[in-house]
């Protein structure tokens, strides 16, 4: 056996190293009386520090497409970029969870939190780099099972336990569907290698059924309508940093993988899957937006917002083109910084005052001007308002879809941005305009949250104006 093949997996290997270090170090960090504060700080900073190093040493994409282990593992330079985007998201999530991790009942599980979080990330890595459906499936499961534990992390809170149960049930159900689809594919084609499959897929009824089952399984992960029913409850119940992670990193990786598989494997069925996606996009964006308008709890609102954002992401997937792929990755990056900024702010407010309803945000500007300012910019970015990055990412996605000939779809999506703008503005209105008798008191968020918010703010303002980010992604857009 050629052991040098392992070098192609350097990203996965370094992440495994990070996980192991954290795991081992955590064993020696016993909650003693004396150095508790110092140890707590160390336990929080260590994963962030290691992840930063991990991101930095793996940030430069390789030169060409490589296959290892007989095609089970496939590498393309674009994957490095996607993994870097996921890393950035994870780092921000780790930064924003620090305040929550200092809470008494959670603090003893600090180590598990990082390990579980990074395990899901590892699963996503394998999912992204898979060259075979079995590998893909293992990655998918590694990414979803620890997620259920994370959703139930506040185990003494009823909603959190419920969220964990709901997540694991839907995840298992969708995995079963997906697995059934895969077995049908194996039955008709006799192989599960991505490279071979595209020659065997010919559009027979069984294969279309297989595709539908596969897509339904992915639809659950991406929380597209009509597979979205778990989303709002899980988002509401999970600890807020986990919700942020779920809405951004988990969703982003699933969207990217879906697009690569659709292009690589199901390319003979392109007309069929475009038809399916066409309707899914319309329904996802429209229904989610309409439901979001009625929400009172900000986490539920963000849940529906993330469903509609997934619809926008699918707009890039439906193009099936390199420019669509570029727009997709750029969109995920921009969406990551904006959405995580919002979840970071929700987290600190929840930790400091326990309030999560939109009405409680009334008068926030008077007491916490900086937080509400960043929140406003992040909401504007999500709503696609220039000069913030969200405008650029939306525009590019629309451009890609328009170029692929989906004019009507773009029109519907664009009109929907107005509905989404409405409910984003409701939050802005609460913070700036609505007077309040008992606003959220003034507080100072902790250092690492502030670092996280700064990263997000730089991203929200800079990613669109500095075209270099998009162009870097574009360079590797064809490498599929």
Partner 1 sequence: MNLLSIFVLIPLLMMLGLWISRNLAQVRTVMVVGASALLISAITLTVCYLQARSAGATEEMLFRADIIWYAPLNIAYSVGVDGISVAMLLLSGIIVFTGTFASWRLKPLTKEYFLWFTLLSAGVFGFFISIDMFTMYLFYEVALIPMYLLIGVWGSGRKEYAAMKLTLMLMGASAILLCGILGIYFCSGATSMNILNIAHAHNIAVSQQLIWFPMTFVGFGVLGALFPFHTWSPDGHASAPTAVSMLHAGVLMKLGGYGCFRIAMFLMPQAANQLGWIFLILTTISVVYGALSACVQTDLKYINAYSSVSHCGLVLFAILMINQTATTGAILQMLSHGLMTALFFALIGMIYGRTHTRDTRELSGLMRIMPFLGVGYVIAGLANLGLPGFSGFIAEMTIFVGSFQHFDTFHRTITIIACTSIVITAVYILRLVGKILYGVCTNEHHLKLTDATWDERVAVIVLIVCVAGLGMAPLWISNMISNSVVPIVSNLTLMH
Point out which residues bind partner 1 (CB under 8 A).
Answer: 323, 326, 380, 385-387, 391, 395-396, 398-399, 402-403, 407, 410-411, 414-415, 417-418, 421-422, 425, 428-429, 432-433, 467, 470-471, 474
Report the alpha-carbon distance of residue 111 to residue 216 in Å, rounded: 34
Smaller CB separation from partner 1, 415 or 447: 415
Smaller CB separation from partner 1, 201 or 375: 375
In the complex, least distance from residue 318 CB atom to partner 1, rounded to whole angstroms? 16
Smaller CB separation from partner 1, 179 or 385: 385
In the complex, least distance from residue 417 CB atom to partner 1, rounded to whole angstroms? 6
String of b and e for 71-93 (b: at least 16 CB within 10 Å)?
A: ebbbbbbbbbbbbbbbbbbbbbb
Smaller CB separation from partner 1, 442 or 471: 471
In the complex, least distance from residue 390 CB atom to partner 1, rounded to whole angstroms? 11
As beta bridge partners, residue 73 has 68, 130
In the complex, least distance from residue 332 CB atom to partner 1, rounded to whole angstroms? 18
Smaller CB separation from partner 1, 230 or 474: 474
Smaller CB separation from partner 1, 153 or 388: 388
Smaller CB separation from partner 1, 116 or 401: 401
In the complex, least distance from residue 165 CB atom to partner 1, rounded to whole angstroms? 39
In the complex, least distance from residue 464 CB atom to partner 1, rounded to whole angstroms? 9
Smaller CB separation from partner 1, 210 or 362: 362
Smaller CB separation from partner 1, 229 or 415: 415
| Backbone dihedral angles phi then psi of residue 157, each to the nearest 5 degrees | -95, 130
In the complex, least distance from residue 366 CB atom to partner 1, rounded to whole angstroms? 9
In the complex, least distance from residue 47 CB atom to partner 1, rounded to whole angstroms? 34
In the complex, least distance from residue 411 CB atom to partner 1, rounded to whole angstroms? 5
């Amino acid at each position: 056996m050629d052991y040098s093949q392992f070098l192609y997996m350097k990203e996965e290997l370094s992440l495994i190293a990070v996980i192991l270090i954290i795991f081992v170090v955590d064993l020696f960090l016993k909650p003693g009386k004396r150095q508790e504060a110092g140890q707590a700080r160390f336990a929080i900073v260590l994963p962030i520090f290691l992840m930063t190093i991990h991101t930095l040493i793996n940030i430069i994409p390789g030169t060409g497409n490589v296959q290892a282990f007989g095609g089970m593992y496939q590498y393309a330079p674009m994957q490095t970029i996607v993994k870097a985007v996921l890393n950035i998201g994870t780092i921000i999530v780790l930064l924003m969870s620090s305040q929550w991790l200092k809470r008494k009942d959670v603090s003893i599980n600090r180590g598990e939190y990082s390990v579980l979080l990074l395990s899901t990330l590892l699963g996503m890595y394998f999912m992204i780099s898979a060259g075979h459906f079995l590998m893909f499936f293992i990655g998918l499961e590694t990414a979803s099972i620890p997620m259920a534990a994370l959703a139930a992390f506040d185990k003494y809170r009823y909603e959190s336990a419920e969220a964990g149960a709901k997540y694991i049930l839907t995840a298992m159900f969708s995995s079963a569907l997906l697995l059934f689809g895969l077995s049908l594919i194996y039955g008709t084609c006799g192989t599960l290698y991505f490279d071979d499959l595209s020659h065997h897929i010919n559009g027979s009824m069984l294969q279309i059924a297989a595709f539908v089952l596969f897509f339904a399984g992915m639809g659950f992960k991406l929380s597209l309508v009509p597979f979205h029913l778990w989303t709002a409850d899980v988002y509401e119940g999970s600890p807020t940093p986990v919700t942020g992670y779920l809405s951004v990193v988990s969703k982003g990786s699933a969207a990217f993988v879906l697009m690569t598989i659709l292009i690589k494997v199901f390319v003979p069925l392109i007309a069929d899957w475009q038809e399916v996606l066409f309707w899914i996009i319309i329904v996802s964006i429209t229904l989610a937006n309409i439901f979001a308008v009625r929400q009172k709890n900000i986490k539920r609102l963000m849940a529906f917002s993330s469903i509609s954002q997934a619809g926008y992401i699918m707009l890039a997937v439906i193009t099936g083109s390199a420019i669509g792929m570029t727009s997709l990755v750029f969109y995920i990056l921009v969406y990551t910084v904006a959405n995580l900024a919002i979840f970071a702010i929700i987290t600190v407010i929840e930790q400091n005052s326990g309030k999560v309803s939109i009405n409680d945000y009334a008068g926030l500007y008077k007491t916490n001007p900086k937080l509400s300012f960043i929140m406003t910019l992040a909401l504007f970015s999500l709503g696609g308002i220039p000069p913030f990055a969200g405008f650029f990412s939306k525009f590019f996605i629309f451009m890609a879809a328009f170029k692929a000939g989906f004019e009507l779809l773009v029109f519907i999506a664009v009109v929907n941005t107005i509905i989404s703008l409405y409910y984003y503005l409701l939050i802005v209105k609460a913070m700036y305009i609505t007077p309040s008798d008992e606003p959220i008191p003034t507080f100072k968020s902790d250092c690492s949250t502030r670092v996280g918010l700064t990263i997000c703010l730089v991203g929200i303002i800079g990613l669109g104006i500095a075209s270099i980010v998009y162009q870097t992604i574009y360079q590797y857009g064809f490498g599929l």
